[in-house]
Amino acid sequence: MKEQILRYVSRDYPWKDRFHFLPQVDSTNDYLKKLAAEGAPHGTVALSDHQTGGHGRRGRSFLSPPGVGLYLSILLRPECPPTRLMHLTCAAGVAMCNAIENSAGFRPGIKWTNDIVYGKRKLGGILTELRLNSQGLVDYAIVGIGINCCQSAQDFPPEIREVAGSLAMVTGQEVDRFRVAAAELDALYDMSVRLLPEQEALLSQYRKDCITIGQEVSLVRGDEIRHGRALDVDGEGALVVLFPDGHTEAVNSGEVSVRGMYGYV
């Protein structure tokens, strides 16, 4: 799969020698953490056809069967304080919308902060993990992305069949995973270059792609559920919510999860 993917990346993609293809792995994020500890450089990518322990945010598992999806993680070493990376998951979301548009021919949306969606279905998700060094600066960031490419509705287990989707379910056509993977590599390289100097431009595109803005939302923090209306995404990627008593709050994705009032999106 490695050669077929690299055949489609743009000619000036600079990290071909940092690309690791793994037929099967527990989790590409966890694999990359081990490489990072051994000193792997900025731009190292692990991509797998099959994860046996793929995971998402809040310890949830991310179903990663063979032959139908793409499970990819990229290691970034931006040498900055973590406060400069508050928008990283948003930037990765925009990169995935670009990659899917360029390879599958449609632009999905983003459910704040990290779900790639189309209509009422989740096509993929993003898991960002940071490690700091002893000076409190970023040692590395790992951005892990799972995309459902070729599944039909019956391929998903009954408990997520109504809310999960794939690129092929949207297009109604076969999806070339090599092209999608190559588009992901190109889009993530572009993101890495723009990440610090173009934070506001990336967030401005994120606001266009984010389907949560303008929606009635439920904010879940532990046992507490509050309802409000999502007004905006701020300059650091936090969701600005208006509550019925008239006050607004910028909520952080680490603190709360957001649900649409009437279903998953």
Binding site for ligand BTN (CB under 6 A): 27-29, 51, 54-57, 60, 62, 71-73, 114, 125-127, 144-146
Question: Closer CB to ligand BTN, residue 125 or residue 237?
Answer: 125
Question: Closer CB to ligand BTN, residue 96 or residue 169?
Answer: 96
Instruction: Specify the DSSP class assigned to residue 114.
Output: T
Rounded Cα–Cα distance for residues 9 and 11 (Å): 6
What is the nearest approach in angstroms of ligand BTN to the Cβ of residue 13?
Answer: 20
Question: Closer CB to ligand BTN, residue 5 or residue 126?
Answer: 126
What is the nearest approach in angstroms of ligand BTN to the Cβ of residue 16?
Answer: 20
Question: Closer CB to ligand BTN, residue 48 or residue 103?
Answer: 48
What is the nearest approach in angstroms of ligand BTN to the Cβ of residue 152?
Answer: 20
What is the nearest approach in angstroms of ligand BTN to the Cβ of residue 76?
Answer: 14
What is the nearest approach in angstroms of ligand BTN to the Cβ of residue 64?
Answer: 6
What is the nearest approach in angstroms of ligand BTN to the Cβ of residue 126?
Answer: 6
Rounded Cα–Cα distance for residues 135 and 144 (Å): 25
Question: Closer CB to ligand BTN, residue 41 or residue 53?
Answer: 53
Question: Closer CB to ligand BTN, residue 56 or residue 78?
Answer: 56
Nearest to residue 4, comparing CAs of 60, 43, 49?
A: 49
Per the omega criterion (within 30 degrees of 0), is the bond before 113 cis? yes
| Closest CB to ligand BTN: residue number | 125
Distances in whole angstroms, Cα of residue 129 to Cα of each of 62, 87, 109: 15, 13, 22
Distances in whole angstroms, Cα of residue 229 to Cα of each of 57, 78, 114, 119, 206: 23, 34, 18, 19, 18
Spatial contact of 240 and 248, defined as CB atoms under 8 Å apart: yes
Taking the CA atoms of residue 258, residue 86, residue 118 and residue 124 in that order, the dihedral angle to the nearest 10 degrees is: -100
What are the beta bridge partners of residue 47? 21, 72
Rounded Cα–Cα distance for residues 50 and 70 (Å): 8
What is the nearest approach in angstroms of ligand BTN to the Cβ of residue 257?
Answer: 10
Q: Which residues fall within 8 angstroms of residue 40, CB to CB, at 6 or more apart?
A: 18, 32, 75
Question: Closer CB to ligand BTN, residue 51 or residue 103?
Answer: 51
